Structure 1
């Protein structure tokens, strides 16, 4: 009975090293980031919010990189929801674009957009994805930078925190 945890850990490490398992894991855990819109943000002027994102599965690897055996990584879903205050109406934003890049800002690509957001949309929206780019190099990074460019419809009374959730899909590497 004392050998059972050792056996389970060994199996998990073995499976974690195979391409199919890395594909499943990477496609299961989305990248999340919290972006802030300050109360001082101007209505009708494009503004930018920056944040660092990582995936939950990266916490279980030595260097934050568990994507060595996957390829053809593309965006498959994107969502934005109010975090603080939790009832913030995302309809206060007219439109937005979400970009993903390496931590230093290089290799930036557009991954999601939402134009003409309805004024009464509520505290959560699904974004339109841009899956025309492969994200292989980005998901091999320890963390990535998320840049959200937005246009406000209505001024905020308080600083607002929004959670960006980006789901990816991947295939096993053929090498």
Structure 2
């Protein structure tokens, strides 16, 4: 009985801004980006992907991002997944941009310059949270663009998993 009551309360609150800000802030956006083995050292390249979040279709009607505002990235991390032991230090620098799926409203949200050559297979990025991403997270899909420069040549395509945590506040 108590579980049913809690479920009813949760469903009732799911449409309100406070609940949606908690939900949006709880589930990160993730994307898998591919670094091409054909990229030349020292030249700038882009890799693009669609970011997904568990809560994108949380509500019956889809994304409830209209109930939140002041959405910002609060942390971002890259992890090599294929090969899992790829040293991200092979990259000299990188920037992460998010936008609507058509590329409109693109904002840089994270970067890293002068990456340590021996960093290993995971890297926490420096955040640029000066931009509000309210309009972007209201979209059903979010595009991620990774701009990178290689420090050393690589001999196989590399898949990097990006995790971006956000903070959102209730829309009043």
TM-score between the two structures when normalised by the length of structure 1: 0.92
Following TM superposition, by how much is the alpha carbon of 1:161 offset from its aligned partner in structure 2, in angstroms? Answer: 0.3
- Secondary structure at the residue paired with 1:142? coil
Following TM superposition, by how much is the alpha carbon of 1:7 offset from its aligned partner in structure 2, in angstroms? Answer: 5.4
Give the Cα–Cα distance (whole angstroms) in 1 for the partners of residues 43 and 144 of structure 2. Answer: 20
Change (3 A) 1:116 1:63: farther
* Residue of structure 1 equivalent to 2:146: 148
* Residue of structure 2 equivalent to 1:71: 69
Following TM superposition, by how much is the alpha carbon of 1:67 offset from its aligned partner in structure 2, in angstroms? Answer: 1.2
Give the Cα–Cα distance (whole angstroms) in 2 for the partners of residues 8 and 152 of structure 1. Answer: 51
Structure 2 residues not aligned, in runs of 5+:
none
* Residue of structure 1 equivalent to 2:101: 103
**Cα root mean square deviation, aligned:** 1.6
Over residues 59-90 of structure 1, what are the superposed CA-to-partner deviations in whole Å (9 max), with x where a residue is unaligned?
43345412111111111111111011111100
User: Deviation above 4 Å: which 4+ runs of structure 1?
Assistant: 3-9
- Secondary structure at the residue paired with 2:66? coil
Change (3 A) 1:64 1:86: farther
Following TM superposition, by how much is the alpha carbon of 1:142 offset from its aligned partner in structure 2, in angstroms? Answer: 0.6
Select the residue among 124, 127, 134 that pairs with 2:125: 127
TM-score between the two structures when normalised by the length of structure 2: 0.93
Change (3 A) 1:106 1:126: same
Select the residue among 45, 48, 61 that pairs with 1:47: 45
